[in-house]
Structure 1
Amino acid sequence: MSKGSMFAKPEPGYTTAGATGDTVVVLIGMRINHFWAVHHWGPVFFSMLKMLAELRRAPERGLRGRVLLTASPRTYYVVQYWESKEKLYTYAQEGFHRTVWAFANRKVKAGKARQHVGLWHETYIVPEGGYESIYFDMPPFGLAGATGMLPVEARGRHASQRLAHRSGAKGTSAKGTTAEVNAADESRAVDESPVEQSH
């Protein structure tokens, strides 16, 4: 599971994520609306950490990786990569997550939320061919931290090749379709730069 450790060893050169099939991405977070209301937003913040710890101890629940981020001093969120939408839906109805949401809903119904803290999430089910990635001198991070890291040549040096990759598809090489590989070779004959033109 990707932890985004600042001590992780970088992989030299260009790499890409080893994801196959659908990719399930969840963004979930909180916004501190009133800094002084620590007794309201503090428990929310630590509840998220507790849920992540619960998922880390039980990898069979389906969380493959996560990255903790901040958008501002008020907004904190987690990018999560899930094994499947079914496992995501199942966890949403179980475990500590269900306990937390039941508590939050009771506060809302009782009129005690008072807009001290905002909660949000977004879910994306991205089919194969709808995502690609590239990393340079990076440790496993993000999608690569969740699904494994490959040399970029395994999926193609150009974004169009990586988007065209299909796991196990006939007539498609590891670097993309034959036409795309030929086009890429022609492009490299003109531009010998080691850095791709389009990420």
Structure 2
Amino acid sequence: MHGTSVTAGRTTADTEGDVAVLLIGMRINRFRAVRHWLPVFLAMPRMLRELAADPDSGLLGHVLLMGSPRVLYLVQYWESGEKLRAYAHAPGLTHHPAWTDFNRRRRQAAGRGHVGLWHETYLVPEGSHESVYVDMPPFGLAAAHGQVPVERRGRSAAERLAHRAPRRTAPGAGASPAES
């Protein structure tokens, strides 16, 4: 997701429609309990590889962040909340067994809380998000959806929030003969 080539000037994310954002992370509560937190740590790269291998999965991009030495998290950008939920509940994919394994290990640790997991999902309607990047390579939402000059969506935050993507006409729909 992170390119090394800087785009000069002010840019914004080239989004159309709603945006689905997942924040997901782990907190290491006890550093010495490696056998409890390492499997959690290693599960996410497997899921990301699986999602990257399937262009129809709905994952558009992600950013790995470190909140502190104890807290790691990902910001994920999804095509839709429906595709995010479909992945989370797909029995034959990596997430389901990883979640089952986490819960089994937690029960076996007698609730000692060696590692914590969390996630927050945001389904953001069009017109309720905006972004600006100055002298940045594509990053975050712009890396997931594409990056365009800021003027294309508005010079101010208010203009970018008011921006609506042009509505597409359904295939075969057009002007009726009476309108031609």
TM-score where L is the length of structure 1: 0.80
State the aligned residue count: 165
Q: Which residue of the partner structure matches residue 87 of structure 2? A: 91
* 8 Å CA contact 1:62, 1:87 repeated in 2: yes
Matched, 1:13 2:32: no
Higher relative contact order (CA 8 A, sep 6+): 2
* 8 Å CA contact 1:24, 1:123 repeated in 2: yes
Gaps of 5+ in 2: 168-180
Q: Deviations over 1:127-169 (max 9, x none)?
A: 0010000001111100000000000000011000000001116
Q: Secondary structure at the match of 2:148?
A: strand
In structure 2, how many angstroms separate the alpha carbons of the residues matched to 1:109 and 1:44?
A: 15
Given candidates 63, 67, 77, the residue that maps to 1:71 is 67
Name the Cα RMSD after superposition. 1.3
User: Greater share of helix residues, 1 or 2?
Assistant: 1
Q: Which residue of the partner structure matches residue 152 of structure 2? A: 154
* Structure 1 residues 40 and 107: alpha-carbon distance in aligned structure 2, compared to 1, 3 A threshold: closer
Q: Identity across aligned pairs (percent)?
A: 56
Matched, 1:121 2:126: no
* Matched letter for residue 115 of structure 2: V
Given candidates 13, 28, 47, the residue that maps to 2:43 is 47
1:58 to partner: Cα distance: 1.2
1:64 to partner: Cα distance: 0.1
Matched, 1:80 2:68: no
Gaps of 5+ in 1: 170-199
* Matched letter for residue 133 of structure 2: Y
* 8 Å CA contact 1:107, 1:113 repeated in 2: no
